[in-house]
Structure 1
Amino acid sequence: MSEPLPHLHTAPPHGPHEVPLAGLPLTVLVGVTGVGKSTALTALRAADPAARVLPDRREITDQVMILPLAGRPITDRAERFRLTARYREGHPGGMAQALGSLTADTRCWGQRPLFDGLRGLEEVRYAAQTFPGWRFVALHAPDAVRVRRLLGRADAFDRLENAPAGGNLRARLAALPGVDAVFTPAELDTLAALEGAGCSAADILARTGIVVSERQHYDPDAAAAFLRTLPPERALVLDTVALSPDQVAAAIRAWA
């Protein structure tokens, strides 16, 4: 079983240092897998060692969403997306609602923690409308770039079961359910060509499938468009292709 969240729980505050996250001025990173949230947080921590970063989305998902539904840890990304979608049927705010339900010990997390991260319009809109003290940094990168970044990070969590079998890689990529809504034929050609550049067919297929599956549940463009309607002191939108991680961290620190 996954470890409980450190110094965080779903019960009401029961001590002078405990505060609902709903009432703290969180800075929340917004973006889908592979846009550079973790890299940005690493750069932020290097620039400000005192920064307090809450347990990430994966850990909170495990404890608040998946374990109550499945009763065991789930590693397959497509199955996790399915279970989180099921959680959202009763909790329309998704991760925003899960995060806002937690109580934090401020001796550990401070008064202005950071969180990685929210995804999609529903989560972002719920958070912005429900928690007026929260502020948002949306990070963006094209889907093909995200696949290449996932290939480069070699995270064992980036797995996809039940991938299409048989045929060459290009044909298997084209057989991914929903792929046509995310990638053009030319982009699939480029991704298939990565097999000759040191990446395995299985890894390319898995990472592409993750990006496609995630886009079926979360629309990063709609989330960014909504954030641009908020006052500039509440939302910042950054392109992680145009900006280096250090530049992203500098922009966040200057805005904050």
Structure 2
Amino acid sequence: MANLVLVAGARLGAWAWDDVLPELRAAGHGTYPLSLSGLAEKQGVPAGQQTHVQDIVDEIEGRDLRDVILVGHSYSGIPVGQAAERIGDRLTRAVFVDSALPVDGEAFISLMPDGGAKVMASIAENAGFWPPVPASHFAGHGLTDDQIARIVAGSTPHPGATLTEPAVLKRPLAELPATYISCSLDGAALDADLAELMTSDRWRLAELTTGHWPMFSQPRELARILLDAAGPISDDAATSDTEHHRTPGRSR
């Protein structure tokens, strides 16, 4: 049995994994969806990026979890990647769900095309928080109107400092045992840095033919990839029309 610690992306909380959990639990695994400080039911708690890293480490060490599959979606790939190296042999595999990846000394905001200028301005205008986005932001991601409404209703302002503080890594990310789940509806090419990571024999690549929020749009298919990361699964669960492992570095 593995223990899956699941961390959703910006503005979201533990609730975002609700549709993924039943299949993981049916397979006998422990599931620990986590809301980070300042988000969801933890609104009002001051938080920087290292706060979020410590949230994850504390969840794992506080519960004395072993055989951990540590899952990070979107923004949360950055604190998850840092926490993964800090929990040592408790980690079995990190799984990055269409996520940002930490780079030592760099902040999440530095990954944005304009250097994060618009996000910085938005944070400054909203008392230090990155505000929720309207329903139109989620168009084109394979989501139903009901799914979009659910995301919008559950979103909370995201602590701005978590986006501007730099990541801290003590060793190359390629040394982690990891799976990257790429979500695409348009056949976009792999990012060059991600393709380089895929040359590590410790990394695997999987694809979902959907948009950026697969825990809502394709929860069953996402669960199957997570089950694969956790260990052997039954033949029927291993087969999916929308997910497959791919040769590193090829376009998607």
TM-score by length of 2: 0.41
Higher relative contact order, chain-length normalized (CA < 8 Å, sep 6+): 1
- Structure with higher Rg: it is 1
Structure with more helix by fraction: 1
Structure with more strand by fraction: 2
